[in-house]
Structure 1
Amino acid sequence: MELHGALVASPGMGHFVPILELGKHLLNHHGFDRITVFLITDDVPRSKSLVGKTLTEAGPKFVIRFIPLDVSGQDMSGSLLTKLAEMMRMAIPDIRTAIMGLEPRPRVFVVDLLGTEALAVAEELEITRKHVLVTTSAWFLAFTVYMASLDKGTLFKHLSSIGALPIPGCSPVKFDKYMFI
Structure 2
Amino acid sequence: MDQPHALLVASPGLGHLIPILELGNRLSSVLKIHVTILAVTSGSSPIETEAIRAAVARGTCEVRELPSIDIDHSPDATVPTKIIEMMRATKTKTAVQDAVKSMNRKPTVMIIDIFGTGLMSIADDIGVNATYVYVPSHAWFLAVVVYTPVLDRVVEGEYTDIKEPMKIPGCRPVGPDELLETMLDRSNPQYRECMREDGELSRVMKAPVYGIGPIVRSSGPTEKADNILEWLDKQPDKSVVFVCLGSGGTLSLEQTMELAYGLDLSGQRFLWVLRRPTSYLGASSSDDGQVSAGLPEGFLDGTRGVGLVVTQWAPQVEILSHGSIGGFLSHCGSSVLESLTKGVPIVAWPLYDERRHRCGRSYVGVTSKRVIGREEVATFVRKIMVEEDEEGQKVRAKAEEVRASSERARAQGGSSYRSHFEWAKQCRLVS
| Structure-2-length-normalised TM-score | 0.38
Asked if structure 1 preserves the Cα contact closer than 8 Å seen for 2:69 and 2:89, the reply is no
Q: How does 1:103-142 map to 2 (within 5 A)?
A: 103-142=104-143
Give the whole-Å Cα distance in 2 for the aligned partners of 1:64 and 1:157. Answer: 43
Q: What is the one-letter code of the residue matched to 2:131?
A: K
Asked if structure 1 preserves the Cα contact closer than 8 Å seen for 2:7 and 2:110, the reply is yes
- Cα distance change of structure 1 residues 63 and 155 upon mapping to structure 2, 3 Å threshold: farther
Q: Provide the residue aligned with 1:85 in structure 2.
A: 84
Asked if structure 2 preserves the Cα contact closer than 8 Å seen for 1:8 and 1:39, the reply is yes
Q: Provide the residue aligned with 2:212 in structure 1.
A: none
Compute the displacement of 1:127 (Å): 0.7
Q: Provide the residue aligned with 2:41 in structure 1.
A: 41
1:154 lines up with 2:141 in the alignment: no
Asked if structure 2 preserves the Cα contact closer than 8 Å seen for 1:58 and 1:64, the reply is no
Give the total of aligned pairs: 175
Secondary structure of the corresponding residue to residue 168 of structure 2? coil
Asked if structure 2 preserves the Cα contact closer than 8 Å seen for 1:18 and 1:135, the reply is yes
Secondary structure of the corresponding residue to residue 35 of structure 1? strand
Give the whole-Å Cα distance in 2 for the aligned partners of 1:90 and 1:121. Answer: 13
Secondary structure of the corresponding residue to residue 150 of structure 1? helix
Cα RMSD over matched residues?
Answer: 2.3
Q: Provide the residue aligned with 1:65 in structure 2.
A: 64
- Cα distance change of structure 1 residues 39 and 126 upon mapping to structure 2, 3 Å threshold: same
Moved more, 127-136 or 49-58: 49-58
Any idea what the Cα deviations from partners look like across 1:67-97, whole Å, max 9, x if unmatched?
A: 12131x6235311111000010111210111
Asked if structure 2 preserves the Cα contact closer than 8 Å seen for 1:113 and 1:132, the reply is yes
- Cα distance change of structure 1 residues 87 and 55 upon mapping to structure 2, 3 Å threshold: same
Extract unaligned runs of 5+ from structure 1: none
- Cα distance change of structure 1 residues 74 and 68 upon mapping to structure 2, 3 Å threshold: same
1:172 lines up with 2:173 in the alignment: yes
Asked if structure 2 preserves the Cα contact closer than 8 Å seen for 1:6 and 1:110, the reply is yes
Percent identity for Structure 1 against Structure 2:
29
Secondary structure of the corresponding residue to residue 105 of structure 1? coil
Give the whole-Å Cα distance in 1 for the aligned partners of 2:172 and 2:45. Answer: 43
- Cα distance change of structure 1 residues 76 and 9 upon mapping to structure 2, 3 Å threshold: farther
Higher relative contact order (CA 8 A, sep 6+): 1
1:12 lines up with 2:13 in the alignment: yes
Mark the structure with the bigger radius of gyration: 2
Asked if structure 2 preserves the Cα contact closer than 8 Å seen for 1:44 and 1:66, the reply is no
Q: Provide the residue aligned with 1:52 in structure 2.
A: 53
Give the whole-Å Cα distance in 1 for the aligned partners of 2:69 and 2:145. Answer: 30
Asked if structure 2 preserves the Cα contact closer than 8 Å seen for 1:38 and 1:64, the reply is yes
- Cα distance change of structure 1 residues 175 and 162 upon mapping to structure 2, 3 Å threshold: farther
Compute the displacement of 1:151 (Å): 3.7
Give the whole-Å Cα distance in 2 for the aligned partners of 1:170 and 1:84. Answer: 28
Any idea what the Cα deviations from partners look like across 1:33-86, whole Å, max 9, x if unmatched?
A: x11101101226622223332233355xx2111012131x62353111110000
Compute the displacement of 1:162 (Å): 2.0
Give the whole-Å Cα distance in 2 for the aligned partners of 1:147 and 1:107. Answer: 31
Give the whole-Å Cα distance in 2 for the aligned partners of 1:98 and 1:44. Answer: 21
Q: What is the one-letter code of the residue matched to 2:95?
A: D
- Cα distance change of structure 1 residues 76 and 107 upon mapping to structure 2, 3 Å threshold: farther
Give the whole-Å Cα distance in 2 for the aligned partners of 1:8 and 1:119. Answer: 11
1:74 lines up with 2:72 in the alignment: yes
Higher strand share: 1
Compute the displacement of 1:174 (Å): 2.0
Extract unaligned runs of 5+ from structure 2: 186-431
Compute the displacement of 1:158 (Å): 5.8
Any idea what the Cα deviations from partners look like across 1:91-135, whole Å, max 9, x if unmatched?
A: 121011111221211101100000111111222223112111011
Asked if structure 1 preserves the Cα contact closer than 8 Å seen for 2:8 and 2:35, the reply is yes
| Structure-1-length-normalised TM-score | 0.86
